[in-house]
């Protein structure tokens, strides 16, 4: 089957480390990205927010209370959003595990790493510690909200990609968003592939036949919630439109897995209640996905490579 020159997935299916190896290190830290690359991940996934002084930093949401020590820092009382802080202030924060009860191994690293800028992560990838090409999936969350606050994430993103020489289709950088209006607007201004994210309730009806025709006009691929992949139908229809399909977010903990892949928790044998992520990854690979976005790349990679 002939495929167009869309996201340059050197290995398919690609295994993408969600917020880095966030099942093992506090998310979105340089250490979580380094760990993912060392584990063999093909791609890293990250989210961007902007500081008050217009610097892109790598966080899932602008409220920093869940992923850093900011709530315990009296000098920041009431100023918990990244757009209220300068980069110099953000640099004083220490990252911490979002779900310490589920992930005590990662929580053991609390306080050891800072919040990286997007530029620092691009530098890490360019330094290529694994001596192989690492893809970068950059998610822009809620761009309209940032624009209303005078922080145009698209402009900041384009400037950073250009500054790092990764603003061309062969750079292995892709830009993802849930917002179809944002991606459509961006498509005329960037050469890197765009990935349309689709949440489990498909709020914009993008997984429909008409939706895919529209997405094909501006994007190279889909990033779909794994619950939309009950069978191979959506993957097949996306491929017919030359759209790649990444799926997210694969996590080992029972609570995130479909029922049939869960395992009974046991105080000695399975104290954290992990399910069979390996089998679930195999199942998704068999559906034909092009990429699996996971917090635990070490558990997904063997399933993908064996396929
Ligand atoms: O890769 C897409 C996925 O990251 C979207 O969900 O909330 O983890 O950013 P979220
Ligand atoms: Ca994301």
Is 89 within 8 Å of 114 (Cβ atoms)?
A: no
Q: How far is the CA of 268 from the centre of ligand 1 (A)?
A: 32
The model's confidence at residue 147, banded by pLDDT at 50, 70 and 90, is confident
CA distance 212 to 192: 19
Q: How far is the CA of 11 from the centre of ligand 1 (A)?
A: 21
CA distances (Å), 21 to each of 259, 287, 296, in order?
24, 24, 6
Query: Which ligand 1 atom sits nearest the alpha carbon of residue 60?
Result: 9
Catalytic residue numbers, as ranges = 18, 60
Structure confidence by residue, pLDDT tens digits, 8-19? 445 689 999 999
* pLDDT for the residue 132: 81
Q: What would the mean pLDDT of 153-157 be, rounded to a whole number?
A: 94
Q: What would the mean pLDDT of 162-169 be, rounded to a whole number?
A: 95
Indicate whether 175 pLDDT > 70: yes
Residue boundaries of the structural domains of the chain: 14-59+115-306
CA distance 242 to 214: 12
- Atom 3 of ligand 1 has which residue's CA nearest to it? 248
* pLDDT for the residue 129: 65
* pLDDT for the residue 150: 82
Query: Which ligand 1 atom sits nearest the alpha carbon of residue 47?
Result: 9
Q: How far is the CA of 249 from the centre of ligand 1 (A)?
A: 7
Higher pLDDT, 129 or 257: 257
% of residues, the chain, pLDDT over 90: 88
Does 3.40.50.300 match the CATH number of domain 14-59+115-306?
Answer: no
Structure confidence by residue, pLDDT tens digits, 216-231? 999 999 999 999 999 9
Helix, coil or strand: residue 16:
strand
Q: How far is the CA of 61 from the centre of ligand 2 (A)?
A: 9
Q: How far is the CA of 269 from the centre of ligand 2 (A)?
A: 32
Query: In this structure, which ligand is nearest to the CA of 256?
Result: 1
Q: What letter would DSSP give residue 103?
A: -
- Using CB distances shorter than 6 Å, the residues near ligand 1 are 18, 45, 47, 60, 139, 197, 223, 248-249, 293
Residue 266 has phi, psi (to 5 degrees) of -145, 135
Helix residue spans in 23-141 (DSSP H): 30-39, 87-90, 104-107, 118-127
Residue 16 has phi, psi (to 5 degrees) of -110, 130
Is 41 within 8 Å of 301 (Cβ atoms)?
A: yes
Query: In this structure, which ligand is nearest to the CA of 22?
Result: 1
- Atom 2 of ligand 1 has which residue's CA nearest to it? 248
Q: What share of the chain is helix, strand, coil (3-state, %, to 5)?
A: 35, 20, 45
Helix, coil or strand: residue 243:
coil
Take residue 70 and report the two structure tokens written for it: 């900011």
* pLDDT for the residue 307: 77
Query: Which ligand 1 atom sits nearest the alpha carbon of residue 293?
Result: 1
User: Which of 138, 249, 292 to mutate to test ligand 1, by most ligand atoms within 8 A of the CB atom?
Assistant: 249
Structure confidence by residue, pLDDT tens digits, 43-85? 999 999 999 999 999 999 999 999 999 999 999 999 999 999 9
What is the pTM (predicted TM-score) of this model?
0.95
Q: What would the mean pLDDT of 259-277 be, rounded to a whole number?
A: 97
* pLDDT for the residue 3: 41
| Burial (CB count within 10 angstroms: exposed 0-12, middle 13-18, buried 19+), residue 90 | buried
Q: Quote the mean pLDDT of the chain.
A: 94
Q: How far is the CA of 42 from the centre of ligand 2 (A)?
A: 16
Query: In this structure, which ligand is nearest to the CA of 196?
Result: 1
Question: Which of 35-49, 142-156, 191-205 is the least confident region?
Answer: 142-156
* pLDDT for the residue 11: 66
- Atom 5 of ligand 1 has which residue's CA nearest to it? 248
Residue partners of 169: CB distance under 8 A and separation at least 6: 5, 8, 191, 192, 193
* Beta pairing partners, 213: none
Query: Which ligand 1 atom sits nearest the alpha carbon of residue 246?
Result: 1
Indicate whether 6 pLDDT > 50: no
The model's confidence at residue 144, banded by pLDDT at 50, 70 and 90, is confident
Crossing angle between the packed helical segments 233-240 and 209-218, to the nearest 10 degrees: 50
Tokens 């902007």 correspond to 50
């Amino acid at each position: 089957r002939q495929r167009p020159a869309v996201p340059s997935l050197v290995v398919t299916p690609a295994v993408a480390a969600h917020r880095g190896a966030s099942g093992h290190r506090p998310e979105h830290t340089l250490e979580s990205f380094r760990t993912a690359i060392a584990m063999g991940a093909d791609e890293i996934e990250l989210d961007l927010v902007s500081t008050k002084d217009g610097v892109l930093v790598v966080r899932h949401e602008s409220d920093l209370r869940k992923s850093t020590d900011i709530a315990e820092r009296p000098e920041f009382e009431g100023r918990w959003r990244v757009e209220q802080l300068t980069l110099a202030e953000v640099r004083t924060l220490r990252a911490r595990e979002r779900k310490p009860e589920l992930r005590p191994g990662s929580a053991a690293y609390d306080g050891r790493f800072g919040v990286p800028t997007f530029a620092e992560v691009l530098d890490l990838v360019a330094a290529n510690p694994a001596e192989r090409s690492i893809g970068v999936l950059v998610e822009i969350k809620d761009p309209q909200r940032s624009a209303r606050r005078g922080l145009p994430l698209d402009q900041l993103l384009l400037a950073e990609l250009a500054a790092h020489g990764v603003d061309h289709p062969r750079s292995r950088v892709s830009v993802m968003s849930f917002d179809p209006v944002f991606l459509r607007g961006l498509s005329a201004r960037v050469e890197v592939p765009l990935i349309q994210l689709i949440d489990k309730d498909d709020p914009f009806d993008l997984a429909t036949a008409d939706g895919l025709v529209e997405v094909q006009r501006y994007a190279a691929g889909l990033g779909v919630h794994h619950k939309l992949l009950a069978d191979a139908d959506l993957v097949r229809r996306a491929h017919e439109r030359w759209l790649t399909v990444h799926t997210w977010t694969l996590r080992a903990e029972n609570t995130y897995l479909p029922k049939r892949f869960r395992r009974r928790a046991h105080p000695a044998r399975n104290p954290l209640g992990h399910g069979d992520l390996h089998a679930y990854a195999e199942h998704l690979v068999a559906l034909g996905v092009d990429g699996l976005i996971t917090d635990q790349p070490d558990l997904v990679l063997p399933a993908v490579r064996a396929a």
